[in-house]
C-alpha cells in the first residue's frame, strides 16, 4: 500500500488546470474517431482511388504543420486559451458538418480544414501545462497528459470501429461532440496562462524572455536547436511501428500477420498504461537529457532485435515492451527539456517547432525506408534503424556532456 502511495504521490497537489488538461486529453483522444479511419473512410465509404486517398491523407498530415506554427505564434502573442478554443471549436464544426452531408468533395474539404484547425491545439496545450508548473514538476505533468492520451486511445478506436461499420454519420457527430466537451472543460476550469512580460519568480535562466523573431530565438538557444535535430532520428525510428512493423508481421506470419500486429499494438498500449507511473517514479530524479539517452537505448535494442528474431512471437512481444519503454521516456521528457530551455514568451512556438521536426522525422521514416525496401530485405531495415537511433543516442549523450561542462564553467567563473 505504501509503495502505491509513493507511486501516485508526485501527482497529488498539481494545479487544477493540469487535472483539467488530463481529462481534456482523455476525451479528445477517446473521441478521435475520424482520422484513424481516414484511409478506410476515403476508399470504402467515399469510393476514392488509392492514389487519391494517399494524396488526401498526406495533405491532412502536412497541413497541420503550418497550423501548428500559427497556433504557437497566436498562443504566445495573444492568448493560450483563446487559441485553443478557436482551433478545437472550428475543427469540431468541420467534422460535425460531415455527418449531415453526402458530397465526397465537400467531406474531403471539411476533413482537411479540420486537420488544419487541429494543428492549433497541441502547442497550446503544451504551453498551458508549462505555464502552470515549475521546472521540477513538468515531467510529472507531461507524464500525466501523456497517460491521458493513451487512456483515450486504448478505448476510442473500438467505439470508432463500431460506428464506422454501422452508423457512419455518428462517427462524425461523436467526434465533434467529444471535442465540444473538451472545449467546455477548458472554458470552465482552465484560466488563461499567457505569461506576464518582465521578470517572473520561479523560472530558470533559460526561460528568460527574448524580443526577437522565432528563427533568431532558436539560434540564441543552440542546445534546443541541436536537440530538435537529434530528435529527428528518434521520430524516424518510431515511425516504423506503424510503417515497417506491420509489413514485417505479414512477411513473417503470413495470414496471421495483421492479427499479430494488432496484438503488438495492444501490448504497446497496455505497457504505457501499466508502466508510465513506475517509470516516472524511477526517472524523475534524473536529468531530462539522461532520460532521453535511455529512451534512445531502449529504441535501439527494441527495434534492432526485430531483424534477428525471425518467427519467435514471444520475442516480438518483448521487443514491443522495450521500444514502448523508450516511447514513454521520450514522450515524458522531450517536451520538458524544450519547455525548461524555452523563452517564456516563445513556449508555444518552440513546441510547434518540435511538432515540425517530429513530422520531418516521421516523413523521412516512411519515404526513405520505402526507397530502402525497394532494394533491400525488410530484415535489414531494423539494422539501419538500430544504427540511426544509436547515432542519435550518442549525439544526445554529447549534448548532455556539453551541458554539464557549461555548468562547471559557470560555477568556476562565479568562484573567480
Q: Helices 138-166 and 168-189 sit at what angle, rounded to 10 degrees?
A: 150
The number of distinct structural domains making up the chain is 2
Last residue of a domain, one of 194, 218, 241: 194
Last residue of a domain, one of 176, 194, 212: 194
The Cβ of residue 50 has, within 10 Å, a number of other Cβ atoms equal to: 10
118 and 229 housed in the same domain: no
The predicted model scores a pTM of 0.82
CA distance 152 to 30: 4
231 and 203 housed in the same domain: yes
Domain annotation covers residue 3: no
Domain annotation covers residue 384: yes
102 and 218 housed in the same domain: no
What's the CATH code of the domain at 156?
A: 1.20.1250.20
Domain annotation covers residue 2: no
Domain annotation covers residue 228: yes
157 and 229 housed in the same domain: no
224 and 294 housed in the same domain: yes
Domain annotation covers residue 1: no
Domain annotation covers residue 5: no
Domain hosting 303: range is 197-416
Domain annotation covers residue 347: yes
295 and 343 housed in the same domain: yes
84 and 137 housed in the same domain: yes
Write phi, then psi, for 335 (nearest 5 degrees): -65, -30
252 neighbors 310 (Cβ within 8 angstroms): yes
Q: How many CA atoms lie within 13 A of 31 on its CB side?
A: 24
43 neighbors 50 (Cβ within 8 angstroms): yes
Which residue do the cell numbers 532494394 mark?
375
- The reported pLDDT for the residue numbered 200 is 47
pLDDT mean by block of 10 residues, the chain; 416 residues: 68 91 92 79 83 81 88 90 95 95 91 92 91 88 89 82 86 94 95 62 63 85 92 93 84 82 86 89 89 96 92 92 96 91 87 89 86 88 95 95 60 38
288 neighbors 338 (Cβ within 8 angstroms): no
115 and 35 housed in the same domain: yes
254 and 154 housed in the same domain: no
189 and 252 housed in the same domain: no
Last residue of a domain, one of 160, 194, 228: 194
CA distance 56 to 338: 32
Domain annotation covers residue 213: yes
Closest CA to 91 of 110, 70, 76: 110
34 neighbors 175 (Cβ within 8 angstroms): yes
73 and 101 housed in the same domain: yes
C-alpha Rg value of the chain to the nearest Å: 22
178 and 216 housed in the same domain: no
The x, y and z cell numbers of residue 43, run together, are 476508399
Amino acid at each position: 500500500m505504501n509503495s502505491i502511495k509513493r507511486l501516485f504521490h508526485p501527482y497529488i497537489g498539481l494545479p487544477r488546470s493540469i487535472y483539467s488538461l488530463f481529462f481534456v486529453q482523455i476525451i479528445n483522444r477517446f473521441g478521435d474517431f475520424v482520422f484513424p479511419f481516414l484511409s478506410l473512410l476515403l476508399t470504402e465509404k467515399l469510393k476514392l482511388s488509392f492514389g487519391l486517398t494517399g494524396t488526401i491523407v498526406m495533405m491532412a498530415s502536412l497541413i497541420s504543420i503550418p497550423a501548428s506554427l500559427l497556433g504557437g505564434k497566436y498562443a504566445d502573442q495573444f492568448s493560450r486559451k483563446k487559441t485553443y478554443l478557436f482551433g478545437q471549436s472550428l475543427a469540431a464544426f468541420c467534422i460535425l458538418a460531415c455527418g449531415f452531408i453526402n458530397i465526397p468533395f465537400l467531406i474531403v474539404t471539411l476533413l482537411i480544414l479540420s486537420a488544419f484547425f487541429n494543428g492549433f491545439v497541441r502547442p497550446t496545450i503544451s504551453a498551458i501545462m508549462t505555464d502552470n508548473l515549475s521546472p521540477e514538476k513538468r515531467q510529472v505533468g507531461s507524464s500525466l497528459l501523456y497517460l491521458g492520451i493513451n487512456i483515450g486511445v486504448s478505448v476510442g478506436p473500438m467505439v470508432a470501429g463500431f460506428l464506422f461499420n454501422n452508423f457512419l454519420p455518428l462517427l462524425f457527430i461523436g467526434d465533434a461532440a467529444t471535442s465540444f466537451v473538451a472545449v467546455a472543460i477548458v472554458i470552465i476550469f482552465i484560466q488563461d496562462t499567457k505569461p506576464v512580460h518582465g521578470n517572473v519568480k520561479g523560472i530558470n535562466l533559460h526561460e528568460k524572455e527574448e524580443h526577437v523573431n522565432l528563427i533568431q530565438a532558436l539560434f540564441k538557444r543552440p542546445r534546443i536547436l541541436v536537440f530538435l535535430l537529434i530528435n529527428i532520428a528518434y521520430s524516424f525510428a518510431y515511425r516504423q511501428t506503424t510503417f515497417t512493423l506491420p509489413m514485417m508481421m505479414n512477411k513473417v506470419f503470413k495470414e496471421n500477420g495483421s492479427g499479430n500486429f494488432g496484438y503488438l499494438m495492444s501490448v504497446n498500449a497496455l505497457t504505457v498504461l501499466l508502466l508510465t507511473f513506475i517509470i516516472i517514479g524511477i526517472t524523475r530524479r534524473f536529468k531530462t537529457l539522461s532520460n532521453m539517452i535511455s529512451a534512445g537505448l531502449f529504441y535501439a535494442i527494441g527495434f534492432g532485435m526485430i531483424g534477428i528474431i525471425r518467427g519467435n512471437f514471444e520475442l516480438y512481444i518483448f521487443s514491443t515492451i522495450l521500444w514502448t519503454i523508450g516511447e514513454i521516456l521520450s514522450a515524458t521528457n522531450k517536451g520538458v527539456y524544450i519547455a525548461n530551455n524555452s523563452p517564456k514568451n516563445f513556449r508555444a512556438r518552440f513546441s510547434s517547432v518540435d511538432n515540425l521536426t517530429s513530422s520531418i522525422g516521421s516523413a523521412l521514416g516512411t519515404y526513405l525506408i520505402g526507397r530502402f525496401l525497394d532494394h533491400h530485405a525488410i530484415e535489414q531495415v531494423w539494422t539501419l534503424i538500430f544504427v540511426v537511433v544509436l547515432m542519435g543516442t550518442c549525439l544526445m549523450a554529447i549534448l548532455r556532456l556539453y551541458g554539464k561542462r557549461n555548468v562547471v564553467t559557470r560555477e568556476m567563473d562565479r568562484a573567480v
